[in-house]
Amino acid sequence: MQPAPIKAVLFDLDDTLWPIVPTIIRAETLLFDWLREHAPAVAQDHSIETLRARRMALMEAEPRYRIDLPGLRHAGLTEAFHASGADPVHIDGAMTIFNDARNAVIPYDDVLPALERLASQVALGTISNGSADLVAIGMAGHFRISIAAHQFGSAKPDPAIFQAACAALDVDPAETVYVGDDPLLDVVGAQKAGLRAVWMNRFDRVLPEHIRPDASCTSLLELEHWLADRIMLVAPAIAR
């Protein structure tokens, strides 16, 4: 049976549309420099690595933080401030420093031109387990809908988050493609929800044998070529 034409494309964000590791390293470095000035007791008692270990311990103790990454970072800072006797009035300022730097992402060169072209052909959306803010980043206008796990209440690979995105776009999962870099969260998760899955392999990795995406691409340009004869044109979104 012929697969349904594609009416929508949903994207993962981190390591699919931009590299995340250098962004997080820079954000945590700027945060720690800020702590040295505004909460020196915390900076004296901790390092970037020990603050990260504290967050990991919190995540193990409270599984809800596996979804709520902003809440996890806030809780980790709160514990560190309390343990060091630092004034908690500075916690929100610390979060602002981190969030601003975390959203200072640099999209891969292929991303913005491809999104502009695709938005005139299919409905676009995003699903992310991370804490990126597309409004702050300046990319929200490319997408009709965006769902973040910490706001939705469950995370990839839960089929519910994929199906919610399809419902928000008023498309059937079979008419939708999900594009992401994580074999389990993105490929297996999307396929179990009834979507087609494209593995974005920007880093020349090897897939586990049991995971079989509908396609593998190294850029959004390759994705466009794969989509070319599979899409059903839709009315362009109203600019927002």
What's the rounded mean pLDDT across residues 220-233?
90
In a domain, 28, yes or no: yes
Q: Is the peptide bond before 88 cis (omega within 30 degrees of 0)?
A: no
Distance CA 236, CA 121 (A): 7
Last residue of a domain, one of 79, 102, 125: 102
Answer yes or no: do 125 and 222 share one domain. yes
pLDDT tens per residue across span 69-106: 999 999 999 999 999 999 999 999 999 999 999 999 99
The pLDDT value recorded for residue 236 is 52
Answer yes or no: do 137 and 207 share one domain. yes
173, 195 contact by CB (below 8 A): yes
Answer yes or no: do 66 and 176 share one domain. no
The CATH number assigned to the domain holding 80 equals: 1.20.120.1600
Answer yes or no: do 113 and 221 share one domain. yes
In a domain, 211, yes or no: yes
In a domain, 232, yes or no: no
Confidence of residue 234 (pLDDT cuts 50, 70, 90): low
Answer yes or no: do 13 and 129 share one domain. yes
The pLDDT value recorded for residue 1 is 67
pLDDT tens per residue across span 208-221: 999 999 999 999 99
Answer yes or no: do 83 and 177 share one domain. no
The CATH number assigned to the domain holding 162 equals: 3.40.50.1000
pLDDT tens per residue across span 150-161: 999 999 999 999
pTM of the model: 0.93
Residues above pLDDT 70, as percent of the chain: 96
164, 174 contact by CB (below 8 A): no
pLDDT tens per residue across span 116-149: 999 999 999 999 999 999 999 999 999 999 999 9
Confidence of residue 3 (pLDDT cuts 50, 70, 90): confident
Distance CA 114, CA 198 (A): 15
200, 16 contact by CB (below 8 A): yes
Q: Under 8 Å CB-to-CB from 232, ≥6 apart: which residues?
A: 5, 6, 7, 122, 175
Answer yes or no: do 130 and 195 share one domain. yes
Task: Quote the domain boundaries for residue 53.
Answer: 21-102
Answer yes or no: do 48 and 116 share one domain. no
Distance CA 174, CA 1 (A): 13
Tally of domains in the chain:
2
In a domain, 233, yes or no: no
Answer yes or no: do 111 and 200 share one domain. yes
Answer yes or no: do 97 and 117 share one domain. no
106, 19 contact by CB (below 8 A): yes
